[in-house]
Structure 1
């Protein structure tokens, strides 16, 4: 595996890095996060408050294909490791979800290839890779500037490749003056992000983005959707809703193939099943509906139903967060199905967590929705939905535009939105037009919208696959950008966006955020280059590298700059901007939103 030098963080100090295991030194590993906080990790699976099927007419083997029994998600959050209770905060979760061999087989089925080479290769590379986060660690009690992190306040300095000087506006100066009267010992109330994965994804596949955001002071809830969009996921029995369960289960004992199942036997089996698995759900008679060249287009019926179920899962996750935030964390621990003895669980479950430290620590009035690919389409509908008023802005990562339901007069994006896409998807004209329409919706509603592209990136550049398998990404997808730099540009763009759109109460976190001014200096380009546009056969899937052999040879011999990928772009040319608000619109939005905050808090 080629070792790509890491871009320097944009701030001079970061939390101590986790110690790598011996296997991680030998095999593939994930880089440590660069923010001022260490990162904690929780896994939660809860029975759904309202278990039900979605699109009941969509069935497989005469059973509901989409059914909500439980909700599963991981929480990445700012943590303090000095205070430990029992074994909390001492172990690191695996990157590959348990049970790991079965998860590998799920990926093989998703890719439609024999499972044994996939399992063998992942076992030899990432089967034992761990997240640079700590399971059940204590949620941080400190603000970032109290965690030994230099915010650069007053110095106006930044470091690292491409970092920009932190510009302090008049509004931020006013905030700092107001903060002088605040209790310096108050505990931070963390902004919340809900992350929706793409096809084949999971709660850990985007850990590089989720954990990095958490290291800067955000609580990130990474969903694992059970709508048939993941490669493989496991649903633990909640003790109810057996009529929704599927026959496609893993059993401890399998009856002979020639044995007929009577209704009584089926009922007995249902009562004995501890869990069932959900694999990727291919559309009937249109298995490749994700392909730009598919003449049948997207299966709107199935994808629309999946998005509806995903939004319901997000509501269920919000309910759990509200319980934790309101002092009922012990109820979440009691009902949690990811506990010892259940499938996919760690030996720790949710033990040794000091739930009282979570009370009132989450900002649940201003939640950001973020999603990649099909998760980006999910995020669009979450921004349109009137049932999720607590979602106040959204970040779309290379969204799958054709899968997004059509905009209606009653359902349009009217909240700030940032789209950060890949160059591979940018060359897909239909997808580009769909994403632009979404950004135009926000602009027409009088709010802020940005549409940007990371040059040299491909669709998986915003996943952990790009970090763990950079050579395969470069050889097969023709990815040109440094994979870690692509993640950094994604995270820093999102942080700058949140700095502009979150309420004034959260700006104290923003003082410690990396600030490369990726949005503030972005001017829409009149024309983008097409040097790396692939042939129509490979549109959206990969890029084209002219003179590829000589380019790679220069990199191997040290003539090229591997630290910047195969092609070196100037810092100001790393991102193409297709749409952005002008500075007056940004300042007007901040003044109106912060004025609204001051009015709203004046009577408290």
Structure 2
């Protein structure tokens, strides 16, 4: 257990519920363990079947609320006029629906993006990732109908206007090199318990790739930062502000969806969009994210205080947040006013330089008594994504993507705490 300094009262706990036998099945080696198995993601545990749909939204004409919006438009290509999200939601299925592919289309672009982010040669990354991950599906059903029964609806009550028929909402922001499907195990699990989860695929150059569906040619690849650390801070700060403008646009879309309006200015809602009318509980919205996505959550909570009930921060990366000095080396400007749940991997908690900046920032939150901080023992940064699950049976890659903890157990703990 990592204890805060004596003058810092923020609650911090490390999970101590690891199995007695610390040698997990994925660590045991056999003669055939080098042979790749097709990856499989765990089933969701909630009472709802999970549906998903990818939605492309153009920017609304309304003026941006966030004052930094105009400063950061250049961080994405000039032709970027769209946002891309995947909605995970409670659903009913008929049996005709297909399960969603984990690797988005075009497969080669996203596979190349993951490989480039991990600095793997393309002759290896593209065929290997396409070959393995193209056969991996997520336990969600593409464009299934939204469940007619809400999370708090009695079986003999079906009034669509009832607040009990509305689903609370989670907006989830990915980390560097991720995309809208990288956290399917977490986003789908949340949806299975009665939430609508909006997984954003940021188009600021932080996704491994971002390609609009239906053949529209707006592929945005990962953008590498400058080598100089001070220049990188400016670069990442601009990307962070751009991400916040995307979240603000998404907030406007969710409000329009709930009112039964088309999410674009000049178009009526599609059949997929129309089913969300009066079904979103926008009085209970959570802002969540992993790593740079957790930083996005913190910055969004600062500028949209009235919209979000609370935040969930997975391994928050504090580098690009606002500091009290002119650079990234000083303490953070205290900005949080809402309760937050922090779930850290052990690797991130042991990163002293980051932890020593994060903890005073969290302690400055007036809601700190309602803001637990939990570390998952033996886990690393990537254990909060799907990657350790996907490569746990590939010899040599399990430890590259995750810690000593069994990857299925790690994601189960993250979901349990979330």
Q: Same fold (TM over 0.5)?
A: yes
Matched, 1:323 2:256: yes
* Residue of structure 1 in register with 2:337 after alignment: 414
Deviation of 1:411 after TM superposition, in Å, equals 6.2
Q: Which runs of 5+ in 1 are unaligned?
A: 6-24, 149-182, 238-249, 251-273, 287-295, 337-349, 495-604
> Which 10-residue stretch deviates more, 134-143 or 209-218?
134-143
TM-score after normalising by structure 1: 0.56
Is the Cα contact below 8 Å between 2:103 and 2:134 reproduced in 1? yes
How do 1:17-416 and structure 2 match up within 5 A?
27-50=38-61, 54-55=70-71, 69-82=81-94, 90-144=97-151, 184-187=157-160, 188-235=165-212, 274-286=216-228, 296=229, 299-329=232-262, 334=267, 353=272, 355=274, 357-385=275-303, 387=304, 389-406=306-323, 412-416=335-339
Assess, with a 3 A threshold, how the Cα gap between structure 1 residues 225 and 487 changes in structure 2: closer, same or farther: same
2:385 corresponds, among 439, 454, 463, to 463
Deviation of 1:406 after TM superposition, in Å, equals 2.3
2:376 corresponds, among 433, 440, 454, to 454
**Aligned length in residues:** 370
Secondary structure of residue in 2 paired with 1:29:
coil
Deviation of 1:186 after TM superposition, in Å, equals 3.7
Secondary structure of residue in 2 paired with 1:221:
strand
Which structure has more relative contact order (CA 8 Å, sep 6+)? It is: 2
Secondary structure of residue in 1 paired with 2:294:
helix
Secondary structure of residue in 1 paired with 2:240:
helix
Quick one: distance in 1 between partners of 2:345 and 2:222? 24
Is the Cα contact below 8 Å between 1:104 and 1:115 reproduced in 2? no
Quick one: distance in 1 between partners of 2:71 and 2:226? 15
Assess, with a 3 A threshold, how the Cα gap between structure 1 residues 300 and 426 changes in structure 2: closer, same or farther: same
* Residue of structure 2 in register with 1:345 after alignment: none
Quick one: distance in 1 between partners of 2:401 and 2:212? 33
Quick one: distance in 1 between partners of 2:126 and 2:99? 22
Q: Which runs of 5+ in 2 are unaligned?
A: 1-23, 28-35, 325-330
Deviation of 1:284 after TM superposition, in Å, equals 2.2
How do 1:565-584 and structure 2 match up within 5 A?
none
Is the Cα contact below 8 Å between 1:298 and 1:403 reproduced in 2? no
Is the Cα contact below 8 Å between 2:90 and 2:195 reproduced in 1? yes
Is the Cα contact below 8 Å between 2:334 and 2:364 reproduced in 1? no
Assess, with a 3 A threshold, how the Cα gap between structure 1 residues 410 and 486 changes in structure 2: closer, same or farther: closer
* Residue of structure 2 in register with 1:516 after alignment: none
Quick one: distance in 2 between partners of 1:73 and 1:193? 12
Secondary structure of residue in 2 paired with 1:276:
coil
TM-score after normalising by structure 2: 0.79
Matched, 1:488 2:412: yes
Secondary structure of residue in 1 paired with 2:288:
strand
- Could you say which structure has the larger radius of gyration? 1
Give me the CA root mean square deviation: 3.3
Deviation of 1:410 after TM superposition, in Å, equals 8.6
Is the Cα contact below 8 Å between 1:415 and 1:447 reproduced in 2? no
